[in-house]
Copies of this chain bind each other. A is one copy, B any other.
C-alpha cells in the first residue's frame, strides 16, 4: 500500500499542480440547480489541472439528505474523471473514544475520502482513530484563516519547550504523532507569518492552505512561506474563486480557466525560486 504522502506527491506531480478545488456548493450561487451535475461539470473542466478536490461537508449537510446523496455521486464522479486526484473531506471532525472511531469510519469507509480535516481540540487520542487507515491522510486544523482563530490558536501557552503560541505548540505535537507519513496541517493563506512559523517547525509535512482568492490571502506569500524547501507539500485551496468564476452557462469553462490560471501563477512563483517542476 502506497503511503498517503506518496499518493499526494503523485497527485501533484501528475498535473504539475498544487491546486485544490474546494467544492463548497451553494444553491444561491450555482448556475444550475443540481448539485451533483454542477460538481461533475466543475470536475470535468479541472481534472487535468489540479491535485485535490475538497468538498466541505457543511454545505452538503445544509442541503439535508439530498445534499449528502449528491456528495456520494460527486465522489464517485471524481474517481472516474480524475482518478489520480486526492479527495479531501473537509469536515473538521473530532470527538472522543468510540465517537471519534465512528467519525473516522464515516469519513474513510462510508464516504471513501482519501484524506480528512480534523479538529484536535480534544487532544491526541481524538485524532488517533483517523491515523489507523493505511494510505489515508489527516490534516489537523492548526491555524485558521479567519479573524477569530486568534482567540485560542494564537494564545501563548506554557510548554516543556518554553512559551509559544498554541498553534505552534500544536504543530510541534502533531509532528510527533506522525508515524506513517499520513499527517498534515491546515494553515490559512491570510496569516503568512503563522504559515512560515509552521513550515519552519514542520519542514516536510503537507500543509493545506485555504484562504487565497475570495478570502483575500495573498498567493505569493502562501506559496513562498507554505511550500517545503523542494517547492512541494503546499496544497493551495481555492473554492469560490474557481467554482463560481462565472454564473453563466459557461461556468465550467470559466472554472477550468481559473484553475489553470491559479496553477500557472503558483508554478511561476515556484520557478522564480528555482523550485519549479522538472
A interface list, Cβ under 8 A from B: 24, 26, 56, 58-59, 61-65, 68-69, 72, 90, 92-100, 102-103, 105-106, 109-110, 119-126, 141, 144-153, 155-159, 163, 166, 169-170, 173, 215
Contacts and interface: CB of A to CB of B under 8 A. Distances in A.
Nearest to A62: B102
Tell me what chain A mostly uses at the interface: helix, strand, loop, or mixed: helix
Contact of A145 (B62, B96, B151, B152): B96
B148 A123 contact: yes
A66 to B, nearest CB: 10
A120 B56 CA distance: 18
A119 B92 contact: yes
A163 B153 contact: no
A157 to B, nearest CB: 4
Given A62-B110, A119-B92, A144-B96, A124 B151 contact: yes
Contact of A150 (B26, B103, B110, B123): B123
Given A61-B102, A110-B61, A152-B166, A123 B95 contact: no
Contact of A148 (B24, B65, B122): B122
Given A61-B106, A120-B151, A123-B146, 15 more contacts: A58-B93, A58-B102, A58-B103, A59-B102, A62-B103, A64-B106, A65-B69, A90-B99, A92-B95, A120-B121, A121-B153, A122-B148, A123-B151, A124-B148, A155-B159
A123 B147 contact: yes
